[in-house]
Chain A
Amino acid sequence: MKSIWPVSVLMILLAALVGLGAAVLATTYPAPHATFSDRPVVYGALPAPQDRARLASWAQPSPDGQWTWQLGDSAASRFSPLDEINASNVAQLKPVFTFDTGLKRGHEAGPLVVGDTMYVTTPYPNDVYALDLTRPGAPVKWQYHPQSQKAAQGVACCDVVNRGAVYGAGRLYFNTLDGQTIALDAATGHEVWKAKLAEISKGETITMAPLLAEGRVLVGTSGGEMGVRGSLAALDAASGKLVWRAYSTGPDKDVLMGPEFRPFYKQDQGKDLGVSTWNPEGWKIGGGNPWGWVSYDPELHLIFYGTGNPGPWNPDQRPGDNKWTAGVFARDVRTGQARWFYQTSPHDLFDYDDINESLLLDIPTRQGLRKVVARPARSGFFQIIDRMSGQVLSAKPFAYINSMKGVDLISGRPIMNPDKEPKEGRTTRNICPAAPGGKDWNPVSFSPRTGLVYIAHNNLCMDEGDVDTNYIAGTPYLGTEARMYPGPGGNRGVFTAWDPVAGRKVWEIREDLPLWSGTLATAGDVVFYGTMDGWFKAIDARTGRLLWRTKLVSGIIGMPMTYKGPDGRQYVAIFAGVGGWSGAIVSGALDPGDPTTALGFVNAMKDLVKRTDAGGRLYVFALPR
């Protein structure tokens, strides 16, 4: 009998070869991008009317159908009372006109509409255009091109974005990347005053949209990745002179902490904690830049804003709690004096800037309505904080978190997970949420009709490794290498409808790409948002069902807004222009061959290049006549 061994051995070898080949192919050819259903996953019922959160009693969202502030109103609702477009007719929306900025970087801002003029701001070089809405095609009425330093582009961490302007008393206020705040006459576009608040030679830039409150223009610096000591400044709206400036680190006199300061938690009580919770001199290059959103309560005369990450990213170089970074401040808008502070991320390990918006809501409790600050924080917790005292009433996760086990409401401190603590000399893996957090800067919206907060956010995790970094003014001060990838489930983005009173998700939509657009809620019970590959979507505010979508020329990281035109119709506007930190692979033409590119974000976005292009176009939609 012929031996069976040679044949058997050959068959085994063949099988092994085929298996090996399959394995090699599977790892070298990436799977086609997963498709996620647009159908919302429902977790529970909407809150009953008496259990709904309400917008702060004094808030008047966008009266007259205008839009004068990026967040809609000073309570940060991003809610419009216009209801001409509703769930039954939104599918008929058609583009009415478009406007090209001529730029191809990330467009994060939304336009403003006052009367019959629309005001548009752009990423660097921070041009401003006024469009005449009374004429068809909305031609440019005037344009303003600021003189700014080109080198500012080299110290902007996350694309050369700008988050928009604010309108008040006939003037338009906005910031330039190289650190100027400019006031323009809204009718003519002439420069009224200009103030310089940041020095690019120290790595400082400004990207945020200023807030106008009680005759003061509030401006915060950027530069937490460059070793910049952050500060929030108040300029006189009439003259541009500096009224007060509150730093985020350092001695109490710089942080404007005086006898009015009454922090709720013990760890925030003491003298000069902004110095003693740092290694000596560390606070001078300590970060804490308030580059995000500021809210304002006119009854309490308080502003609420968060401070950014401490510098450097590598926590071993800055022992201590690193006050007053990665936390939320309440300050008196007239004097800048601090009222309370809560640190969301003491001795921050993961770049959990706390700059996200602070919604000012009144929530029903057994003792009646309680004034709170509702904040979807970077750390992934949805915080409900008492507006007067700074006490955290609840902090429930709206994203998947394994870096922290929860928040201890007695001490106020997050309970850290020691396994996820980055240490020099080793790579810590699978930290969730990744550095952009459960949600980054892109703002949520709130509908008083449903009582839900609409959150467009991320589902990303990361590996992080730290090395000691050097400090050279004007260069990055990081010490961290990271690599991001999709979180559990494989979807990189999530749209969540959140009930802030019950502290739970009501429904969510899983998106393939991270969601970096703002959301907009309207009285027509429609919510608008956009995806990074250019789909602009309208969903039902109650159920999350997709009602309408259209593909735009570029990915969407901007903030949708709605207004009533001079002809009385309701219009919806959104910028298409991918970029920012998440879209840098497209807007900056970065190379995915290096997984640490753009602080690790490019590793999670390798497919974006095939799905959208860079661009900069404003789209305005309306119902057909």
Chain B
Amino acid sequence: MSLPCRVSLLPLAALTLLAACGRETRDFSNKMMDSPHRGAKFAGNAWRISNGARLFVWMNCAGCHSHGGGGMGPPLMDAKWRYGSSMSHVAYTILNGRPGGMPAFRGKITEDQAWELAAYVRSMSARTRRDALSGRADEPANVEPLPLEKRRRARAVTPEQDAAQKESSKIEGTGP
């Protein structure tokens, strides 16, 4: 059975636009927190990642982790994750701390702020949807922003590690 020769482009365009809507939604009423696909929703939302970038400086994450390179804390822009790289792992790390020095931020930030930070942290190693990532820094900065290609290159350590990380992120449906 053959398809009609000229498929109308209008519904296709409409569908594409609808798919892009989620990326720019401003979720002021915090409905994303109640969603079953919370991780994917946060990680794929440009506004959430932008808030995460702001909170990363405000909550002094940059004081220990610099802008991904590490310092008092380990680097965040590479592929080595001590405690897991999925959205829920990173949000857990932020809220509850980890032995070895990561402080617990529960009670210092709200839960949705922790998930925004998780979305931003994952974006530092290009572990996010390409279209949700900001093309340039949202705030005036003292260093040039790291382009996506540089972040992607920073990710690759060993093929096994990369595969393992992809597996763990599949559970959240957040994609590579």
Interfacial residues, chain A to chain B (CB-CB below 8 A)? 150-157, 225, 425, 427, 463, 465, 467, 469-470, 472, 474-478, 481, 483, 584, 588-599, 602
Contact = CB atoms under 8 A, between A and B. Distances in A.
B146 interface: yes
Contacts of A474: 103
Contact of A594 (B57, B59, B68, B74): B68
B143 interface: yes
B114 to A, nearest CB: 14
A577 to B, nearest CB: 19
A151 B60 contact: no
B66 A598 contact: yes
Contacts of B6: none
B99 interface: yes
B158 to A, nearest CB: 15
A150 B99 contact: yes
B63 A478 contact: yes
Contacts of A593: 68-69, 77, 146, 150, 154
A403 B75 CA distance: 31
A591 B69 contact: yes
Which 7 pairs across A and B sit closest by C-beta, in order of nearness? A154-B101, A476-B63, A597-B69, A465-B142, A594-B69, A591-B75, A475-B60
B173 interface: no
Contact of B60 (A465, A469, A591): A469
B22 interface: no
Contact of A154 (B58, B77, B102, B150): B102
Contacts of A153: 100-101
B165 to A, nearest CB: 16
Contacts of A589: 70, 74-75, 80
B64 interface: yes
Nearest to B67: A594
B84 interface: no
A35 to B, nearest CB: 28
A39 B8 CA distance: 80
Given A467-B57, A469-B60, A594-B67, A155 B142 contact: no
A593 B63 CA distance: 17
12 contacts: A155-B101, A465-B143, A470-B58, A475-B59, A475-B103, A476-B60, A591-B69, A591-B75, A593-B150, A595-B143, A596-B66, A597-B71
A593 B125 CA distance: 11
Contacts of B77: 591, 593-594
A472 B108 contact: yes
B73 interface: yes
B36 interface: no
Nearest to B153: A593
B60 A590 contact: no
A591 B100 contact: no
Given A470-B58, A475-B64, A150 B100 contact: yes
Nearest to B61: A475
